[in-house]
Each structure stands twice: as C-alpha cells, then as structure tokens.
Amino acid sequence: MTTATAVGARRKTGETCPESGRWRFDGYLDGTSSPPPTPEEMEIPLSKGETFPPIRSSGKSCWWKLVQRI
C-alpha cells in the first residue's frame, strides 16, 4: 500500500516526483530570490516518476510544493 503525498509537501530539483499533480515554485535552493521565475514557470504539471526540473529561465535548482494531486 502506498501513501499519498500530502498537499504542501516539498521536493527539490533532481528528485523523482512521488505523486502526479500541480507543483508550484517554492524558492531557490540557494536561498536567493532573483531572478524571479517567469509566470509560466511558477506552477507546473508533473507526473509520478518524472524528475523535478530547474527553473529554465535561470537554470537554478529550486523547491517545488504540491498544490493539487491529479
């Protein structure tokens, strides 16, 4: 039996997505805040098993937070 990932759970760039859903940018891993992600990069759909991406426009690793399971 698998346990569903809780809404609000955080994962970082390079990790494997544990739950299909909509994931929202939740800060850069290095603690900086600039450059900000583009509006299109702020929230992404990701399927279970995919790898969390960096923010493409900056090339920086970041935290992703689950906002909706799908």
Per-residue pLDDT of the chain (70 residues; tens, 9 = 90+): 557 899 999 999 999 999 999 999 999 999 999 999 999 999 999 999 999 999 999 999 999 999 999 9
Q: Domain residue spans in the chain?
A: 10-69
Phi and psi dihedrals of 40, rounded to 5? Answer: -70, -25
Report the pLDDT value the prediction gives residue 54, as an integer from 0 to 100. 98
pTM of the model: 0.92
Please answer whether residues 25 and 37 qualify as being in contact, where contact means their C-beta atoms are separated by less than 8 angstroms. yes
Please answer whether residues 66 and 23 qualify as being in contact, where contact means their C-beta atoms are separated by less than 8 angstroms. yes
